[in-house]
Amino acid sequence: MKKIYLDNAATTPLDPEVFEAMKPMMLEFYGNPSSTHAHGREVRTKVERARKTVAELLNTTPSEIFFTSGGTEADNTAITCSVEAYGLKHLITSKIEHKAVLQTAEKLEAQGKVKLSFVDVDSQGHMDYDHLNSLLKDNSRSMVSIMHANNEIGTLNDIARIGEMCKEYDAVFHSDTVQTMGHFKHDLQALTCHFIVGAGHKFNGPKGVGFLRVCKSKKIGRFVEGGGQERNHRGGTENVYGIVGLAKALEIAYRDMDSHAKHIQGLKTRMIEGLKNNVSGIEFNGDIREGHSLYTVLNASFPAHEDNDMLLFNLDINGISASGGSACSSGANTGSHVLTGIKADPERQGIRFSFGKYSTAEEVDYTVEKLVEILNPVHA
């Protein structure tokens, strides 16, 4: 049986070139980078070289890059530490953000530290920029946390526009860029955004490592106690081989981005056409137009059917890995908060197919073929 992986938005396969870069850090360069002897110093050099690589790719300075355990920690840190450091009393986000942002915001509100406001989104997941402007205008100095691309439906937000709005109202701006890091080029000298984040495993790097970019105009306190690592901000011995792997993966992603983007967008377009032509009643969640959507993500909405709950399972037993869920029904605690947030039909099954540089046209065609068989077993 074929094994097809179409869940690259969850995690990506490790690039062999990245693995080769990581191996010496596992076997040869094993010193603690905080140690002052030769073994430690040579490893410290590797960490700082990786930091410089990430900074140069993003057109920022190494002093603004802090390595973390991943995107979740980076999001938590940016929001919580900003509220504490600047005494912010108003936090603006949306109901379709990643849970790393939503749950952090809700916790701060429950603790009485902030007033929480949600900017409106339309049925495709686009921000209502006029509403955002009114929220910024009508409240005291705020923090805005809006993602660059939605991880479930792929809709892109204009973070350059949001950044300029935040600048006008002297608001702190954080953007969860986990899904676009390594897939879009971020020029941080041109972008007004105080905090962005990355996670290595989203662009064919290792799991368990990420980074937070803190704009030099912003200062935050220590976010992990226990040592002087990461310029006295994040205690704990660094994940050295993870850091080296992340930097190498980002370097490869930037090097090959144009060709990979063309290849992956072609696969997404192929699947859209395949589903339109072969699955009656198919719809798509989010804005699927090229240039308005993350090219790695396609969220398909299948018609209400008695076997909807088994659709992902049936794909799995046919060797196809994807993810998804329906909008939350009234009073339900499960389901997709993103599809609920855009008022998707809770009776329809939403499935996210997400593509990567190793995905192929043959895999897309096979997946469409199997979906037809599963949905129409008598006529397949």
**Residues annotated as part of the active site:** 328
The C-alpha torsion from 187 through 98 and 220 to 192, rounded to 10°, is 30
State the distance between the two ends of the chain, measured CA to CA, in whole angstroms: 18
- Dihedral sign, Cα of residue 51, residue 209, residue 8, residue 214: negative
Place of tokens 């469409």: 368
Q: How far apart are CA 370 and CA 380, in angstroms?
A: 9
116: Cβ contacts below 8 Å, ≥ 6 apart: 91, 93, 105, 106, 108, 109
183: Cβ contacts below 8 Å, ≥ 6 apart: 203, 253, 257, 260, 261, 294, 295, 296
Q: How far is CA 156 from the centre of its chain?
A: 11
The token pair at 247 is: 């930097």
User: How many other CB atoms are found less than 10 A from the CB of residue 293?
Assistant: 24
Radius of gyration of the chain from its Cα atoms, rounded to whole angstroms: 21
Sheet holding 297-302, edge to edge: 283-285, 297-302, 349-354, 323-324
